Structure 1
């Protein structure tokens, strides 16, 4: 029967490239780590690595086993936390608008009842990659993550509006310089799909890696952009920015992202109780 220790050594060898360094990573002797890997390969009847000089390189068999090994180790860790009163600490990934604007408000409402060990803020594609590597318990994303091992569940909705400094009032949207998010961003994907295809002559002049950077650039009069109302709410109230073409505002779906092979932990269930999905309107 396969053991969790064998799988732990297997994953450590992938990370380090040798049983010697893997042994240090998992607090075993070098001989114990080598034996664990040999026993795993013997049990499976297949080699998992190709020997290239002194380095072990993952082969096709090892690549097939890798996600399952990660899933089994994560499920074992979840089982250890099952009877803890809080179900363990959460590792949450959030795409940038959610992580910078929506999630802090929700966590503030929950207070110490919803402890998070780590919140990773990145674009939608990066959050999906971390979910696939079992580095996160839960993802909150603004775009789509189309992978058979990932499950998207509608969570909340967001409104995106076209904003500009008052100096651009009255201009045609086709004539304005546009500022865009980077490729891989859920915001970028929605704007391209829902808005830019209906406009002609759009001139993207700048691409920035966060909604906050775009917000500041738009306030500085560098151009126009389409951003979540969560991002620009204060600037709209103060008059620093105004909404252009309100009839072109976009309602976009925000999603919960889970790994299909990983059941919800008690901590995830507690998060969803405090931050439940809202019914679609």
Structure 2
């Protein structure tokens, strides 16, 4: 029977390229790590690595095993945390608009504290990559991801509006300087898709890594942007910003992101009870 230790060594060899460095990573002797890998390959009847010089390189059989090994180790860690902490701690990933604006409001309004081990805030592509490595239990994202091992389900809805400082000239939208999120951001992909006709031929004046940075740049009059109402609602209320072309507002879904091979933990279930999907 396969052991978790064998799978742990296998994944460490993928990361480090050798059994010597893998042994250090998993706190084993070099001989114990080599034996674990040999036993795993013997049990499976397949070589999992090709030797290239002094380095072990994952082959097709190893690539087939890799996601399953990660899933099994993640489930073992989930089982341990279930009994250590009364149901486990949630490792949550949120794309930037959700993590910086919507999620704090939802958690602040909740009737009980959510036992989060950590909340990672990054763009959609980064959250998807962390989910594929089984480093997060659940993702909350604004953009789409099409990896076959990841599953998107609708969670909430958001409205995005084109905003500008009131003193910015009222020229056609394509003639004004645009400020946009970086490539890989869910916000950026939605804006480019939904406003493709407006943005034809437009080269962004600035590409910034956070919605708040764009918000501040637009308030300073550097250009226009399309941002979530969650980001700009206070600035719209106090007159620092105004909506341009309200007919072009974008209504977009926000998603729950799960790994297909990883069942919901008890902590995920508690989060969804506190912050359930909208009907």
How does the TM-score come out when normalised to structure 2?
0.94
Query: What RMSD, in angstroms, separates the aligned Cα atoms of the two structures?
Result: 1.7
Provide the residue aligned with 2:99 in structure 1: 99
Structure 2 CA distance, aligned partners of 1:251 and 1:130? 27
Deviation at 1:79, TM superposition (A): 2.3
Match of 1:167, SS state, is: coil
Does the 8 Å CA contact 2:93/2:127 hold for their aligned counterparts?
yes
Provide the residue aligned with 1:178 in structure 2: 178
Gaps of 5+ in 1: none
Mapping of residues 210-229 of structure 1, within 5 Å: 210-229=210-229
Structure 1 CA distance, aligned partners of 2:55 and 2:91? 32
Deviation at 1:245, TM superposition (A): 1.4
Q: State whether structure 2 residue 238 is matched by structure 1 residue 238.
A: yes
CA distance 1:82–1:88, change in 2 (3 Å): closer
Mapping of residues 140-151 of structure 1, within 5 Å: 140-151=140-151
Q: State whether structure 2 residue 109 is matched by structure 1 residue 109.
A: yes
Structure 1 CA distance, aligned partners of 2:100 and 2:215? 13
CA distance 1:15–1:112, change in 2 (3 Å): farther
Question: 1:164-191 CA distances to partner (integer Å, 9 max, x unpaired)?
Answer: 0111263322321111111111111111
Match of 1:113, SS state, is: coil
Structure 2 CA distance, aligned partners of 1:167 and 1:203? 22
Provide the residue aligned with 1:21 in structure 2: 21
Deviation at 1:34, TM superposition (A): 1.1
Structure 2 CA distance, aligned partners of 1:85 and 1:94? 23
CA distance 1:203–1:49, change in 2 (3 Å): closer
CA distance 1:202–1:32, change in 2 (3 Å): closer
Deviation at 1:198, TM superposition (A): 4.6
Aligned length: 279
Structure 2 CA distance, aligned partners of 1:205 and 1:163? 15
Mapping of residues 56-205 of structure 1, within 5 Å: 56-83=56-83, 86-110=86-110, 113-168=113-168, 170-198=170-198, 202-205=202-205
Match of 2:92, SS state, is: strand
Does the 8 Å CA contact 2:132/2:149 hold for their aligned counterparts?
yes
Gaps of 5+ in 2: none
Does the 8 Å CA contact 1:161/1:246 hold for their aligned counterparts?
yes
Structure 1 CA distance, aligned partners of 2:128 and 2:3? 28
